Amino acid sequence: MPSPSSPILVATEIRKVYQTPSEEIVVLNGVSFALQAGENMAIVGPSGAGKSTLLQILGALDRPTSGSVSVGGVDPFTMNENQQARFRNEKIGFIFQDHHLLPQWNVLENTLLPALANGNPSVEVRDRAVRLLERVGLQHRMTHLPSQLSGGERERVAVARSLLLKPMVVLADEPTGNLDRHSAENVSQLLLEVPQEENTVLIVVTHSSTLAAKMQRCYELNAGKLQLT
Ligand code: ADP
Ligand code: MG
């Protein structure tokens, strides 16, 4: 186990290069940073800069061409496929712009999704799901289907779900991108507060300068590198 002061998430010299028949596309060209428990950072940058690619590598959904990622002292790219799937499920919480909720499942069931990999959720996990939904203000929406919710409410389900299994790291890719200003502010507030209460590392890719300004650090991804803004 890492000591309390050692970083939870460390990215070291991450490069990502796509080889197309005509050219080599260098998307990430040496990205390094470290975040301690409870720390958060924003990543901004133009479309196509590689923000989603970086998040996918940090969450072990995609492999870097070179460089390494460490989460809680462990490099997910040294794991076999099963270990990696388990790692993603337990240590990483993902929040996407289009929230990826299952349409036929209600709010509580969608929130419990990460727990279903381990069979039926325990009473403790169900209680936690209910508490998280209360925390994001959805206590009256537990049995609603995603189609019966507003965009902001759907994103709030995604926030609760990302935290269900107490991950070390939450990665959010333009979580407020599809929301009106009022809903975006509401989701941003929860997105900043709830992981911090849980001492979880949070990285948010966003086009919102308001959201980015509220985070402890803000980096711009440009020409494959992160620069403090
Ligand atoms: P962002 O999220 O910042 O908008 P992305 O990470 O989605 O950017 O994409 C970064 C760049 O990588 C884009 O130029 C995109 O075209 C390129 N890219 C993504 N996937 C592939 C791939 N499989 N092959 C070639 N290029 C890719
Ligand atoms: Mg993107």
Question: What is the pLDDT, as a whole number, of residue 3?
Answer: 54
Strand 24-35 to 201-205 pairing: unpaired
- Residue 92 alpha carbon to ligand 1 centre in Å: 22
Residue of the CA atom closest to atom 19 of ligand 1: 53
Query: Which atom of ligand 1 is the closest one to the Cα of 56?
Result: 6
Tell me, using a 6 A CB cutoff, whether residue 20 lines ligand 1.
yes
Extract the tokens encoding 182: 């009022």
How many other CB atoms sit within 10 Å of the CB of residue 76? Answer: 21
Question: What is the pLDDT, as a whole number, of residue 163?
Answer: 95
Tell me, using a 6 A CB cutoff, whether residue 25 lines ligand 1.
yes
Nearest 5 degrees, angle CA 176-CA 63-CA 163? 40
What is the SS3 assignment for 13? strand
How many other CB atoms sit within 10 Å of the CB of residue 178? Answer: 15
- Residue to mutate, 20, 22, 26, 27, ligand 1, most ligand atoms under 8 Å from C-beta: 27
Residues with CB under 5 A from ligand 2 (ion): 52
Tell me, using a 6 A CB cutoff, whether residue 200 lines ligand 1.
no
* Residue with the two structure tokens 């381990």: 118
- Residue 27 alpha carbon to ligand 1 centre in Å: 7
Tell me, using a 6 A CB cutoff, whether residue 46 lines ligand 1.
no
From residue 156, how far is each of 42, 99, 132, 142, 195 by CA, in Å? 19, 9, 10, 12, 13
The number of the ligand nearest the C-alpha atom of 58 reads: 1
Using DSSP, how many helices (H) and how many strands (E) does the chain show?
A: 7, 9
Under a CB-based contact definition with an 8 Å cutoff, are residues 125 and 119 in contact?
no
Query: Which atom of ligand 1 is the closest one to the Cα of 205?
Result: 2
Q: In angstroms, how far is CA 189 from the centroid of its own chain?
A: 15
Q: Strand runs (DSSP E) across the chain, as ranges? A: 9-19, 24-35, 40-44, 66-71, 92-96, 169-173, 201-205, 217-222, 225-228
CA end-to-end distance (rounded Å), the chain: 33
- Residue 17 alpha carbon to ligand 2 centre in Å: 16
Question: What is the pLDDT, as a whole number, of residue 118?
Answer: 83
Tell me, using a 6 A CB cutoff, whether residue 52 lines ligand 1.
yes
Cα separation of 110 and 157, whole Å? 8
The number of the ligand nearest the C-alpha atom of 98 reads: 2
Cα separation of 135 and 21, whole Å? 50
Q: What does each of the 229 residues of the chain score in pLDDT, given as a tens digit?
A: 555 578 999 999 999 999 999 999 999 999 999 999 999 999 999 999 999 999 999 999 999 999 999 999 999 999 999 999 999 999 999 998 877 899 999 999 999 999 998 889 999 999 999 999 999 999 999 999 999 999 999 999 999 999 999 999 999 999 998 889 999 999 999 999 999 999 999 999 999 999 999 999 999 999 999 999 9
Cα separation of 125 and 130, whole Å? 9
Tell me, using a 6 A CB cutoff, whether residue 58 lines ligand 1.
no
Question: What is the pLDDT, as a whole number, of residue 72?
Answer: 96
